[in-house]
Structure 1
Amino acid sequence: MLQRPRVKGGRVMFRPGTMVVAVAGTLVSAVPAAADFKLERQLSLVPGGRFILTTDVGEVSIAGDSSQGASVVVTSRRDDLEQRYDVRFEERAGMVEVTVKRRGTWLSGLFGGDWFNSGTRFEIRVPRATSVNVHASGGSVHVARLLGEARIHSSGGGLRFEEIEGRVDGHTSGGSIQVRTVRGDVRANTSGGGIDVADVRGSLRAETSGGGIQIDIVSGEVYAETSGGGVRIQGAGGRVDAHSSGGAVTVAFAGGNGSGGTLSSSGGGVRAELDPTVALSIDASSSGGPISSDLSITVRGTFSSGSLHGDLNGGGQTLRLRSSGGGVRISGAASVATTR
């Protein structure tokens, strides 16, 4: 209940809590009732071209299943979207660019309800042989079935890539990243969620400050780093550098992979699962637990509970294992398979 202000010494005084309620009431009343908006546009884009989207609002879905040109459908629960945003479409030779910019400052978007209740969504269809660039300020982005590179940046949502034949570069400040079936190099970077990758024919660089990393089958080199969770990799086909300050690191190398790498954790144990037939040099140390191996390693120097230097099958590339938050374990892979 709002309470009447008291007058004291010629000044209006509010009892504690009144101002907070008033501000909250302003925020709620500024959000309009739900309404419908729909904008459709067909644009000229030949296979092999590029589609560019820069938007200050909304979720984005792009699919490479258009038989002709680029189709853009914008929907929103607001009926005043075009009054609040400048929506521009530009066609150039081999390129389409769509720009959606907020009119006024970010405060107008805050008090206008855009950040809470706009329900804006972009459904985009392009030819399969298309490269895409997306810069989204406030929503998730889903890209699928493209024969071309995908470069995606979001300031406030998750990213998902599926069936991409080309380089993938994804960055988000506020969500998770999921990658499925990519034929090209992948870079995934997030400040606010986990990273989940499966079936990449190429190299992978995955970095997060806010979650764990799960990787299943990568044919090339892998770099994975997290400060907010563990790292788990299955079917690593190349060199692996995996680091965690928030959990355990477990890497299962693919059959025939003797490329080595560095696995380290300051927040948990480290485990390497190896093809028993490959040649590797082992350099392992732990200050948080014991070192153990199920494989026959020829020790160089003195073996201790916290240090192991030796060779597997005569030695080769070096695999470094470091743990200050748990032990180190080396074992044969339960099921050894080569990556495709």
Structure 2
Amino acid sequence: MTGIAVVALGGNAIIPAGEAGTYEQQREHADVMAASIRELLDDGWRVVIVHGNGPQVGNLAIQQERARDAVPEMPLFALDAMTQGQLGSLIAISVYRACGGRHPVVGILSHVIVDLADPAFEHPSKPIGPFYSRSEAAGLAATRGWVLVEDSGRGYRRVVPSPQPLGFVEIRALRCLLDAGHVVVADGGGGIPVARRGAVWDGVDAVIDKDYAAAELARQLEADALVLVTGVEAVMVDFGTPTQRRLGRIDVAVAERLLSAGQFPEGSMGPKVRAASRFLRGGGRLAVITTASLAAPTLRARGDDPTAGTRIVAALDREEASA
């Protein structure tokens, strides 16, 4: 099975925990990601890449804060746009180099539509930017209207809404580029959030989960596969217990039951399993959760292959019929 694959790469894969995040370090990690994209392209897939930007936008927020007496600070949605350009360039160059120039690659500035009535705007929950002391947090709340919460004993951080992605302003352009044979880098960081204010789009300070954005984009593109790249080879159940086991091939109903049973924490595998479910319930055929190096082998796998990552399908009997 080949067709369109939407591949979601984590921002932490480009700046792993414990690294400074220099350009050279980020380029090295992007090259590793690009090798897996090349393998998908060699297998005949048409590829759209969605990437996270958590560490990058956090670093940029710190730069903005420390330079605020010298240059004007920009709103969060503008920082999303800046990191989209930064990472889109980095990933595009790496993929182009990995493929030896055989595939045209383009990064597209992506605005993602949200609803200002989304309940997330009443309950900001996504931490961004630097840590502040209690007194600094109180001052920022009073002067800027920010919501700040204590974060694991490390200080206070700003939290912003994380609404659901509803659509993509540039979806027609994206389809045209994909149909023309381009590898497309889009919706970086989950996209630049925008909402209708009157007759026009306007930026919104929010963070969209990049896995949810990738799932919705895959649904709207009628993609065949959604690939959620993470740091582990496969999804585990009963993690950290004597009954821990790896999930190979399962159908979406089983994945949803395990999610409801609390097997996949929200801060870890929960959003990925939920994104896979949304894609498959929206008409998708296959969702994969695995590492970059196992992405292509997992898409090729048939049956319950113990050497592959986790494959979630709409229904096992339908997958057998299409194999």
1 or 2, which has the higher strand percentage? 1
Structure exhibiting the larger radius of gyration computed from Cα positions:
1
The alignment's TM-score, normalised by the length of structure 1, stands at 0.22
The alignment's TM-score, normalised by the length of structure 2, stands at 0.23
1 or 2, which has the higher helix percentage? 2
